[in-house]
């Protein structure tokens, strides 16, 4: 495994835990699971990914719960499909805990070394070579290089060839990937300044507290993380905006110094001011980096302005007038590959045993990286065991949506997961990630006996609850409770299921008020409540999934030549031959392939099969 960021850690652990002798090489041990940008895990759609990584048997959720200093559920004012868990993690503790986990893992070795070459022969992986000339023989390689390939940090007109936080970058591997046949792209991302917390006037800011008694990332977490830190909300103003507009000629993103593509959904503050010129202010969040440091992260103030403009910009913000900068903001450019050159298993199309995961595939974010890392690790292990590899469908999870988007549509900018990208999002909730994926994780050998026991116990509890739903309760038993929770009384017997369909009644309320569901875990009760309340919508979505199943399950051969199908338009033939979809469903989502093309292809294949 090349790299020990969030993708590398998940890939390495997945391989080692499924019995493969695994080596993780990283340019420095200090960057293991390093939170290079914001000190948080989760967020809108990203929280879903973390729960899914956990359900498959991954580590990110466990580590996030263990090191959280504040935890919140976002979007509670909206429907359950978009409720998203987000935790402020202790940046230092997160790195230390994950490093400890890797060090203790059987079958896993960590080595501080820069991989300069991937060695392949006759289209198969043979080994890797370090910059010191040391060689390791292997049958599979997982590339998880993050933003370290030929990375360059930019602050004003000053540039430095280093990775995030000044860590050593990897300068040789890009050429090796290009020699193997990969198309190389150049992307950019950025970070905001970090300031001394002790120099902030918090009395002028809006405090953002954590939530109590909410879902955790990991289904294995027994103790609720404690909220021991606060975040604070502040805003830019006209003074800030004028300073930025007056100095755009000094902004590398506008003066031509940066030519690479940045993330559309996480732009620099100077891009925001230009793009949204009508807005008189922009939200900023102050987030503590760790309990072990006074460093505070200004989320939303990402920039590559020179240091003097950064100082002035921070001082224009109410509450930060006297704030001192501890680390200057910077933009970072790096190399990535074209994700269309990968199969839905994340294996390279032209080198057997070569897998790629994380930001090297053109994504942004720790959670997207970890999600790809666990799938690449699982599939590298299955490849080594000569077993069929795992392809998660879009209806299986956000991970399936993420990977399908990358290998079917590709990306021309750093890709970020959002709930709007998933067409089955009411089915793909955080709370049921284990119901969707733990059986799959068990089948591929990654879900431990301990995790399987927790999961099967949950199934038993849920089954026990469902038997209670048809029970009819008398008005005498329920009316006092209904009045207490703002519901209309009933004059006749009512089933538990119908009670749960009332807006203010939950399974936990029935447990606390009238003694139903005794001995049942509150997380199971929350799941039951949601499934009963949204039963009609969930059934409709499951029917849509079933309807699409025929297309998703219709296999296509990876070596099929679409030039054989004369009825296909030229563009469709070219796109299908480039991407080589593994199913008719994937083929139907390729840009440039029309429904008419799919019909022609289906007729051709059915005719060929009947012959």
How does pLDDT run across 419-459, given as a tens digit for each residue? 999 999 999 999 999 999 999 999 999 999 999 999 999 99
Sign of CA dihedral 294, 295, 298, 301: positive
Q: Please check the confidence at residue 610 and state whether its pLDDT lies above 80.
A: no
Q: Which of 521, 514, 480, 522 is nearest to 496 (CA)?
A: 514
Q: Is 51 helix (H, G, I), strand (E, B) or coil?
A: helix
Distance CA 397, CA 410 (A): 19
- 260-274, 375-389, 550-564, range with greatest mean pLDDT: 375-389
Confidence of residue 56 (pLDDT cuts 50, 70, 90): very high
Q: Please check the confidence at residue 264 and state whether its pLDDT lies above 90.
A: no
Percent of the chain at pLDDT exceeding 90? 93
Give the model's pLDDT for residue 453: 98
Confidence of residue 258 (pLDDT cuts 50, 70, 90): confident
Task: Provide the token pair at 284.
Answer: 């900023």
Confidence of residue 50 (pLDDT cuts 50, 70, 90): very high
pLDDT averaged over the chain? 95
304-325 average pLDDT score: 98
Q: What is the pTM of this model?
A: 0.95
73-101 average pLDDT score: 96
325-338 average pLDDT score: 97
Q: Are 395 and 586 in contact (CB under 8 A)?
A: no
Task: Provide the token pair at 405.
Answer: 């988007």
Distance CA 271, CA 261 (A): 13
Q: Please check the confidence at residue 371 and state whether its pLDDT lies above 90.
A: yes
Give the model's pLDDT for residue 17: 98
Give the model's pLDDT for residue 304: 96
Q: Which of 219, 196, 203 is nearest to 57 (CA)?
A: 219
CA 4 to chain centre: 16
Give the model's pLDDT for residue 508: 95
Confidence of residue 493 (pLDDT cuts 50, 70, 90): very high
Confidence of residue 86 (pLDDT cuts 50, 70, 90): very high
Distance CA 521, CA 467 (A): 16
Distance CA 99, CA 6 (A): 11
Q: Are 89 and 70 in contact (CB under 8 A)?
A: no
25-44 average pLDDT score: 96
Q: Please check the confidence at residue 57 and state whether its pLDDT lies above 80.
A: yes
Give the model's pLDDT for residue 266: 82
Tokens 């929280």 sit on residue: 47
What residues have CB less than 8 Å from 120, skipping those under 6 apart?
A: 126, 180, 351, 354
53-80 average pLDDT score: 96
197-203 average pLDDT score: 98
Query: What are the CA-CA distances from residue 41 to residues 85, 98, 241, 269, 286 (Å)?
Result: 9, 14, 30, 22, 15
Q: Are 9 and 370 in contact (CB under 8 A)?
A: yes
Confidence of residue 282 (pLDDT cuts 50, 70, 90): very high
Give the model's pLDDT for residue 550: 86
Residues 174-196 pLDDT 10s = 999 999 999 999 999 999 999 99
Confidence of residue 275 (pLDDT cuts 50, 70, 90): very high
**β-bridge mates for residue 85, sequence order:** 73
Distance CA 439, CA 444 (A): 9
Query: What are the CA-CA distances from residue 166 to residues 28, 151, 159, 357, 461 (Å)?
Result: 11, 10, 11, 23, 50
Give the model's pLDDT for residue 581: 94
Confidence of residue 556 (pLDDT cuts 50, 70, 90): very high
Distance CA 128, CA 118 (A): 5
Confidence of residue 255 (pLDDT cuts 50, 70, 90): confident
Q: Please check the confidence at residue 276 and state whether its pLDDT lies above 90.
A: yes
Query: What are the CA-CA distances from residue 70 to residues 62, 87, 544 (Å)?
Result: 15, 6, 38
Percent of the chain at pLDDT exceeding 70? 100
Task: Provide the token pair at 74.
Answer: 């976002």
Query: What are the CA-CA distances from residue 346 to residues 174, 358, 410 (Å)?
Result: 18, 10, 13
Distance CA 373, CA 451 (A): 20
């Amino acid at each position: 495994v090349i790299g020990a960021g969030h993708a590398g850690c998940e890939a390495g652990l997945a391989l080692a835990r499924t019995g493969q002798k695994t080596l993780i090489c990283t340019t420095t041990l200090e960057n293991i699971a390093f939170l290079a940008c914001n000190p948080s895990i989760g967020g809108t759609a990203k929280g879903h990914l973390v729960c899914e990584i956990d359900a498959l048997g991954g580590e990110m959720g466990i580590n996030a719960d263990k090191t959280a200093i504040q935890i919140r559920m976002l979007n509670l004012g909206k429907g359950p499909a978009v409720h998203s868990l987000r935790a402020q993690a202790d940046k230092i503790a997160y790195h230390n805990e994950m490093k400890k986990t890797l060090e203790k893992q059987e079958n896993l070795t960590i080595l501080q070394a820069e991989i300069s070459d991937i060695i392949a022969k006759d289209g198969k992986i043979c080994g890797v070579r370090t910059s010191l000339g040391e060689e390791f023989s292997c049958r599979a390689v997982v590339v998880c290089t993050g933003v370290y390939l030929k990375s360059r940090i930019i602050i004003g007109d000053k540039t430095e060839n280093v990775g995030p936080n000044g860590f050593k970058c990897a300068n040789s591997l890009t050429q090796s990937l290009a020699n193997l046949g990969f198309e190389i792209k150049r992307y950019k991302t950025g970070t905001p300044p970090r300031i001394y917390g002790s120099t902030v006037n918090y009395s002028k800011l809006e405090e953002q507290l954590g939530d109590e008694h909410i879902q955790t990332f990991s289904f294995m977490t027994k103790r609720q993380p404690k909220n021991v830190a606060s975040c604070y909300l502040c805003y830019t103003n006209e003074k800030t905006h004028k300073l930025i507009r007056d100095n755009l000629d000094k902004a590398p993103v506008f003066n031509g110094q940066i030519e690479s593509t940045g993330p559309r959904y996480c732009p620099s503050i100077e891009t925001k001011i230009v793009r949204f010129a009508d807005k008189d202010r922009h939200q900023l969040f102050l987030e503590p980096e760790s309990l072990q440091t006074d460093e505070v992260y200004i989320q939303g103030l990402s920039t590559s302005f020179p240091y003097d403009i950064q100082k002035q910009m921070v001082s224009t913000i109410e509450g930060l007038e006297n704030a001192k900068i501890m680390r200057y903001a910077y933009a970072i450019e790096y190399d990535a590959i074209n994700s269309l050159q990968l199969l839905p298993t994340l294996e390279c199309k032209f080198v057997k045993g070569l897998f790629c995961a994380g930001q090297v595939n053109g994504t942004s974010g720790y959670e997207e990286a970890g999600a790809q890392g666990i799938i690449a690790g699982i599939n590298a292990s299955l490849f080594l065991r000569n077993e069929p590899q795992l392809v998660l469908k879009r209806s299986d999870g956000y991970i399936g949506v993420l990977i399908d988007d990358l290998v079917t549509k590709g990306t021309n900018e750093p890709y970020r997961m959002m709930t709007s990208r998933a067409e089955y999002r009411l089915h793909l909730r955080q709370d049921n990630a284990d119901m969707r994926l733990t059986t799959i994780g068990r089948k591929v050998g990654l879900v431990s006996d301990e995790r399987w026991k927790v999961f099967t116990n949950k199934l038993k509890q849920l089954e026990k609850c469902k038997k209670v739903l048809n029970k009819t309760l008398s008005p005498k038993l329920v009316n006092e409770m209904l009045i207490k929770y703002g519901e209309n009384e009933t004059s006749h017997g009512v089933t538990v299921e119908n009670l749960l369909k009332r807006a203010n009644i939950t399974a936990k309320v029935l447990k606390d008020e009238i003694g139903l569901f005794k001995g049942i875990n509150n997380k199971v009760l929350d799941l039951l409540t949601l499934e009963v309340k949204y039963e009609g919508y969930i059934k409709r979505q499951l029917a849509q999934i079933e309807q699409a199943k025929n297309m998703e399950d219709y296999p296509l051969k990876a070596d099929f030549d679409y030039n054989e199908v004369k009825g296909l338009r030229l563009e469709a033939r070219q796109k299908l031959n480039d991407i080589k979809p593994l199913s008719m469903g994937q083929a139907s989502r390729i840009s440039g392939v029309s429904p008419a093309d799919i019909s022609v292809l289906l007729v051709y294949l059915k005719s060929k099969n009947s012959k």
